[in-house]
Every structure is written in C-alpha cells, then in structure tokens.
Structure 1
Amino acid sequence: MAEHRISRSVVIDAPADKIFDIIADPRRHAEIDGSGTVQELVDGPDRLGPGDRFGMAMRIRVGYKMANRVVEFEENRLLAWRHIGPHRWRWELEPLADGSTRVTETFDYSGPTAALYMLGGAPQRNARSIERTLPRLKAIAENPAD
C-alpha cells in the first residue's frame, strides 16, 4: 500500500517539554489549530497520555463531535491520535543542541479511504492547515507569558 502522508516542520525556540505540554493539552487544540475546524474539548483528560480518549467539538459548515484515541505516545517526543477513520494526526518533537526543538506535524491518511481523501482534496487542505498550525504553536511556545 502506498504511503499517504503530509508532513511539515518548524523549529521552535523552546524546550520539547514546554511544547509537548501544549500539544498534549486538548483544551489548547483550538488555540493552535490552523484549520479553524477545532472548536473545543467536549470530554477527556486535561493532559493526554497513552490510550486516552477525548472528544472535540468541530465545525466544517455545521457543528459535529469527533471522538479520538491516543495511539502513539512518548513523553516530550511523540503524540498521535486517530478517530474512527484509519488516519491519524502525529506530532514529533526533536530537541536540538541549541535548546530549540524541531516539531513535525503529520497527517497520515494511509489506509482504505486514502483515495476518497485524495478525491475530496483533503490532503491539500490538511497541508494548508498544518502550514497555519505550526506558526501558531511556535508563537504560543515562544511567548514568555505562557
């Protein structure tokens, strides 16, 4: 099966643990989301961990809820979740020698529904969303007020 992934990276002038704390807090997902679809946490923990489930209020023309489950987790390094579909959102954090962190966000739409996502233009939309999310995360993480 072909790999269907979109990834973008940014270097953030902040330590990995600070950035991970932002990403692992589902209450902050709407704050960093560049797509404009994530609205707020509906249910789940304040901080995500291995196997955690959480629900988000979403909006694309109409409101809906999305249930998610953490499927990959390594403290301060890796966090990925998926919902009912086979695709997943993945965050990888790589600490750099100067104290900054390379953050890579990946939308992985591999699986039996990949062709539908491609026909619907989701990969391009998700690439644009990631390209807007990463600068938002960077600004929040680099803000000394946080």
Structure 2
Amino acid sequence: MAEQMVSVSRVIKASPEAIFDVLADPARHAEIDGSGMVQKVRGDGTRLALGAKFGMDMKMGPLPYKISSTVVEFEENELIAWAHFGKHRWRYELEATEVDGVPATNVTETFDWSTARLPKAIELAGYPKKNPVSMEATLGRLAAILEA
C-alpha cells in the first residue's frame, strides 16, 4: 500500500554500479546511515545478495541493541531491500540518468511498513514522519562518499 511507504530521492553523480557496491556492503552501512543508529556490522560483512542475512550493532539514544536482517528484494545495480523480524523494509532503487552530460543515478530510499507485522505500532511510534529526515541524511552521506 502506497500509504504505508515514505520515500526520499536524490540524484548522485555516480554510476548505479558504484552506488550499489556501497549499498550491498553491510560493512559500509554505518558510514552512510543518516539516523546515527547503525554502529557496525556483525560478522564478516559479506556482499549482500537475495536471501543473505546480516547483523548490525545498533544504538537508539543511549540504548545499544543488535538486529539481524535478510535481503528480501535484489536486482543487481537496480534494487536492494532488507527486513528484520518486524518485517518492514528498507529499500533502495537506482535508476541511471545524467547531469550535464555526466553519468549519474537517481537513488530512491523507501521505508515500507506495508509488510510489517505491527504496522500500527510503527505509525504510533512516529517512524513514518521521522524517517524521511534520516533518509535525506543517508542519501547525502552516500553522495558525499561517491562524489568525492
């Protein structure tokens, strides 16, 4: 359901392949996370693929916790999404484009709670309204890394 998704897009002056390589490397998620919650990858940080499982050390305010996620959508250089036990998804869609004749990519990050176990709890916690700010920051960090 579209009403249970929020998205933010940004054009980044980098190829879809370069951007996807960062997104598919869980060891880089803390580096690009605009929420400040992702601390570091747990495990070996193997490149993600459909069905891959990966863990993260997280922190919400002063409270540390661990989370395990599974890649639930995957199209090389175009789409990657993962979900954890709550079943809501973080999705990145990449579309090649150009800016002033330079190869670039339109990157859309989506927080999708249409698949969540408890969508009402997500809404009551205010995540749909809070997450776009963090998502904009994430895309800004991704752009800073790739456009440097």
User: What TM-score results when the alignment is normalised by the length of structure 2?
Assistant: 0.91
Residue 102 of structure 1 aligns with an amino acid whose one-letter code is: N
What is the match of residue 109 of structure 2?
105
CA offsets 1:63-85 (integer angstroms, 9 cap, x no match): 11100000000000000000001
Change (3 A) 1:112 1:26: closer
What is the match of residue 122 of structure 1?
127
Task: Using the TM superposition, give the Cα deviation of residue 2 of structure 1 relative to its aligned residue in structure 2, in angstroms.
Answer: 6.5
Unaligned runs of 5+ in 2: none
What is the match of residue 51 of structure 1?
51
Task: Please tell me whether the aligned partners of residues 89 and 112 of structure 2 are also in contact (alpha carbons under 8 angstroms).
Answer: yes
Matched, 1:37 2:37: yes
Task: Please tell me whether the aligned partners of residues 86 and 117 of structure 2 are also in contact (alpha carbons under 8 angstroms).
Answer: no
- Residues in 2 aligned to 1:10 and 1:17: alpha-carbon distance in whole angstroms: 16
Q: Aligned match of 1:137 in 130, 142, 145?
A: 142
Tell me which moved more, 92-101 or 52-61: 92-101
Task: Please tell me whether the aligned partners of residues 6 and 106 of structure 1 are also in contact (alpha carbons under 8 angstroms).
Answer: yes
What is the match of residue 10 of structure 1?
10
SS of residue matched to 1:69: strand
Tell me which moved more, 87-96 or 103-112: 103-112
Question: Would you identify which runs of 4 or more consecutive aligned residues in structure 1 move more than 6 Å?
Answer: none
Residue 13 of structure 1 aligns with an amino acid whose one-letter code is: K
Q: How many residues align?
A: 143
Q: Over the residues paired in the alignment, what is the CA RMSD in angstroms?
A: 1.4
SS of residue matched to 2:31: helix
CA offsets 1:79-102 (integer angstroms, 9 cap, x no match): 000000120000000001441100
Task: Please tell me whether the aligned partners of residues 18 and 146 of structure 2 are also in contact (alpha carbons under 8 angstroms).
Answer: yes
Residue 134 of structure 1 aligns with an amino acid whose one-letter code is: L
Residue 144 of structure 2 aligns with an amino acid whose one-letter code is: A
Residue 117 of structure 1 aligns with an amino acid whose one-letter code is: I
Residue 121 of structure 2 aligns with an amino acid whose one-letter code is: L
Matches within 5 A, 1:74-93: 74-93=75-94
Residue 137 of structure 1 aligns with an amino acid whose one-letter code is: L
User: What TM-score results when the alignment is normalised by the length of structure 1?
Assistant: 0.92
Task: Please tell me whether the aligned partners of residues 45 and 52 of structure 1 are also in contact (alpha carbons under 8 angstroms).
Answer: no
Give the share of equivalent positions with the same residue, in percent. 52
